[in-house]
Amino acid sequence: MTLLELTVQGRADRLRNVMLERELDGFVVVDPPSVRWFTGFTGSYGLAVISAEAVVLATDGRYATQAPAQLEAAGSDASVVIASDLIASGADVLTGAARVALEGDVISWNQQRQWASALADSELVAVSGLLRELRSVKDPAELARIEAAAALADAALAATEALRMPGTTERQLGLALDDAMRAAGASGPAYETIVASGPNAALPHARPSDRAFETGDLLIVDVGALVDGYRSDMTRSFVIGGPDAANDVACKILPLVTEAQAAAVAAVAPGVEAKAVDDACRSIITEAGLGDAFRHGTGHGVGLDIHELPSIRKDNAAILQAGQVLTVEPGVYLPGVGGVRVEDLVVVTDSGCRPLTLSPKLSL
């Protein structure tokens, strides 16, 4: 597949603007997705140091060839330092820095102590969430990768339709979905594919088992693809045997969740509080007497990580911004019986939102 060229140019400057406001002289980035976002480096071992003057990627000898090539391809002006002690190398860049930020929500206690020793003359400041906030608004190249991943998941769901029948096991369908995404060009699944049938569908994050589908089962399929590091996320719910096999429970909760999800998608727009999107669907489910069966937030951002900002939950007053990509996924779960979840991935536009996942939803 052909995708828009991705460049990291300008990203360090966005962070530097915030650093200036907070009187920070340096920022140490250790979370691998954020290291990649700033530099283009995809290796499993490395850190980035950002100061007013420079961006430096420190990694080890395994990436001596890969790192410079990836940074050049991503349009990064970062320098690459190959070292065995990454913290010492990073600290060298920050010599004389008065205040240095560490990722408070990522860095370990042990790492903090090592940085405190290496930067004994600097004040270390824990900063949480800032890099995730910067990453939450996608540029066109990022959006193109997420949209391509969504299309591959849509295609895989369509290609495996014949397996949604009595006798197929959850594991068989899950593997078929993963294989279909890879065959179509995905790097792999965006996360462990969820296939949950019958009573297992009452578990929001059930893992595929050897349980065979039975006629009348509610079936939840939660599937996403990975394209050039970026992820998609989608859930559809079905009745094994088709609409004619739906029992009274399915006939109640599947249309209810579908209606609630549509209301929440309609609420997504720039300037809207995240909790307003949650309320748009939660109120409908609650009014139907099933509020306690909706046991999770309504959604989350998606990008290099499968769970990013913004978090769409009832206590989050964060304001949605154009360019953010997020899920809208209400669900109802009845222990011992089954469950339904309907999820779309949408991008916030200037006037509302646009769905990226396009698979049809079951209508009863």
- State whether 190 and 288 are in the same domain: yes
- State whether 172 and 127 are in the same domain: no
Burial environment of residue 133 by CB neighbours within 10 A (0 to 12, 13 to 18, 19 or more): middle
Whether residue 310 is preceded by a cis peptide bond, meaning omega within 30 degrees of 0, is yes
Has residue 146 been placed in a domain?
yes
Return the bridge partners of 102, or none. Answer: 28, 126
- State whether 199 and 251 are in the same domain: yes
Has residue 329 been placed in a domain?
yes
**Count of domains forming the chain:** 2
CB-based contact 156:196 (threshold 8 Å): no
Residue count (the chain): 364
Has residue 363 been placed in a domain?
no
Measuring CA to CA, which residue among 95, 97, 71 is closest to residue 12? 71
Has residue 2 been placed in a domain?
no
Has residue 364 been placed in a domain?
no
CATH no. for residue 104?
A: 3.40.350.10
Q: Encode 275-298: b = buried (16+ Cβ within 10 Å), e = exposed.
A: bbbbbbbbebbeebebeebbeebb
Last residue of a domain, one of 134, 151, 180: 134
In angstroms, the CA 159 to CA 155 distance is 6
- State whether 38 and 144 are in the same domain: no
For residue 222, give the H/E element and its range.
Answer: strand 218-223
Last residue of a domain, one of 134, 166, 181: 134
How distant, in Å, are the alpha carbons of 20, 33, 83, 125, 184 from that of 112?
A: 23, 19, 19, 10, 43
Measuring CA to CA, which residue among 330, 310, 314, 230 is closest to residue 270? 310
- State whether 87 and 145 are in the same domain: no
- State whether 130 and 146 are in the same domain: no
- State whether 148 and 127 are in the same domain: no
Who contacts 183 (Cβ-Cβ below 8 Å, separation ≥6)? none
CATH no. for residue 293?
A: 3.90.230.10
Last residue of a domain, one of 88, 113, 134: 134
- State whether 187 and 69 are in the same domain: no
Q: What is the pTM of this model?
A: 0.96
- State whether 122 and 161 are in the same domain: no
Predicted confidence at residue 145, as pLDDT, reads: 98
Structure-block tokens of residue 324: 């953010």
**Full domain range(s) for residue 22:** 11-134
- State whether 259 and 326 are in the same domain: yes
DSSP letters along 292-332, please? GG--S-SEEE-SSSSSEEEEE-TT--PBP-TTBEEEE--EE
Predicted confidence at residue 278, as pLDDT, reads: 98
Has residue 362 been placed in a domain?
no
For residue 236, give the H/E element and its range.
Answer: strand 234-239
- State whether 16 and 97 are in the same domain: yes
In angstroms, the CA 177 to CA 149 distance is 13
Write out pLDDT tens, residues 107-129.
999 999 999 999 999 999 999 99
Predicted confidence at residue 1, as pLDDT, reads: 76
| Edge-to-edge strands, sheet with 188-189 | 188-189, 225-227, 230-231
CB-based contact 273:317 (threshold 8 Å): yes
CB-based contact 195:176 (threshold 8 Å): no
Has residue 5 been placed in a domain?
no
CB-based contact 38:8 (threshold 8 Å): yes
| Helix, strand or coil, per DSSP, at residue 259 | helix
- State whether 235 and 155 are in the same domain: yes
Has residue 81 been placed in a domain?
yes
In angstroms, the CA 161 to CA 116 distance is 55
In angstroms, the CA 53 to CA 12 distance is 10
In angstroms, the CA 271 to CA 233 distance is 23
Measuring CA to CA, which residue among 170, 149, 148 is closest to residue 160? 170
Mean pLDDT by 10 residues, the chain (364 residues): 92 97 98 98 97 96 98 96 96 96 96 97 97 98 98 98 98 98 98 98 97 98 98 98 97 98 98 98 98 98 98 98 98 98 98 98 90
In angstroms, the CA 113 to CA 136 distance is 29
DSSP 8-state secondary structure symbol assigned to residue 137: B
Predicted confidence at residue 195, as pLDDT, reads: 98
Structure-block tokens of residue 288: 């139907």
